[in-house]
Structure 1
Amino acid sequence: MEHEPLVVERTYNATAETVWDAITNSAKMKKWYFDISAFKPEPGFEFEFTAGSDKKMYKHLCKVVDVDPLKKLSYSWRYEGYPGSSVVTFELMPTGHETVVRLTHTGLETFPQDSPDFALASFTEGWNYILGKGLKEFVES
């Protein structure tokens, strides 16, 4: 069965350098993304964070898999104690004084399908909020 990745694309009134710094600097990531204690845009760097809802929190375990500075950042994304593994990719495409960001999240079908927390709708809502509000407000302020 073919599984389509989740793709969210947004255009920001910010340079690629500003956006890249926001998605690779842990101090800045804490302001718009998740509370990540340390982050390095280097393949093999592992990081984790805890996030979820009022009902349940999940420990996210991630590892940087691909970096092309100012252009592309990919990392694995899985949950401690749950089967499945996915990959999140940020692609930056500068267009003059603006930057288009395309986020692609593949492998969502590998997570338990009996929980609404792992449903495509949940990821879609989350990424639209993170990119449409969190990152946008941060890089455009």
Structure 2
Amino acid sequence: MKDVIVQQEFLVSGHSLWDAITNHEKMIQWFFINIPDFIPENGFCTEFLIENEGRRFTHVWKIEEVVPNKKIVYNWTYKEYTGEGKVFFEIEETDEGSRLVLTNKWVGEFPQDIPEFSRESCLGGWQYFINGNLKEFLDKN
């Protein structure tokens, strides 16, 4: 499946953007409210349950790469389903602030009979979180 790439510019420094995407207290305000903990370091692992239309999705995130204020990479799987993804959050400084480039790559294919695993659903979800929630969160703070 083709990678999903979502970009957004922010009127905040790269350091402030990094803090918003790696600080647990801030993440639960714009990302998933039920993330139990988050530490931006290699090997950190967390999991949490999201339910949608009667389907369970226990997210399992393992941090694979951290370059402070620049990049963090998650290995992303689900307990209930086969498949594996990698999500890259990459920060670039701009004249006006910073830019986040999010890339979702498929490493192992997820079941295609589940709507949440379609490319369109993935793109829509990342646009919702990055172009919507995160932008709104940083604009307010």
Shorter-chain-normalised TM-score: which range?
over 0.9
1:48 maps to which residue? Answer: 47
Query: How many Å apart are 1:108 and its aligned residue?
Result: 6.7
- Match for residue 97 of structure 2? 98
Q: Deviations over 1:69-113 (max 9, x none)?
A: 000010111111210110011000011341110000001761001
Tell whether the 8 Å contact from 1:50 to 1:58 is kept in structure 2 after alignment: yes
Tell me the equivalent position of 2:13.
Answer: 15
Identity of aligned residues (%): 36
Number of aligned positions between the proteins: 139
The answer to which of 108-117 and 63-72 deviates more is 108-117
Q: Would the aligned equivalents of 1:108 and 1:120 in 2 still touch at CA under 8 Å? A: no
Higher strand share: 2
Deviation of 1:54 after TM superposition, in Å, equals 4.1
The residue matched to 2:40 in structure 1 has which SS? Answer: coil
* Structure 1 alignment gaps of length 5 or more: none
**1:73 partner SS:** strand
Tell me, in whole angstroms, the C-alpha distance in 2 between the residues paired with 1:140 and 1:114.
37
- Scaled by the length of structure 1, what TM-score is found? 0.92
- 1:67 corresponding residue in structure 2: 66
CA-atom RMSD in angstroms? 1.4
Whole-Å Cα distance in 1 between the matches of residues 83 and 120 of structure 2?
Answer: 17
Indicate the residue corresponding to 1:121 in structure 2: 120
TM-score (norm 2): 0.92
Contact 2:88 2:102 in 1 (8 A): yes
Map 1:73-92; keep pairs closer than 5 Å. Answer: 73-92=72-91
Q: Which residue of 2 aligns with 1:29?
A: 27
**C-alpha distance in 1 between matches for 2:138 and 2:37:** 20
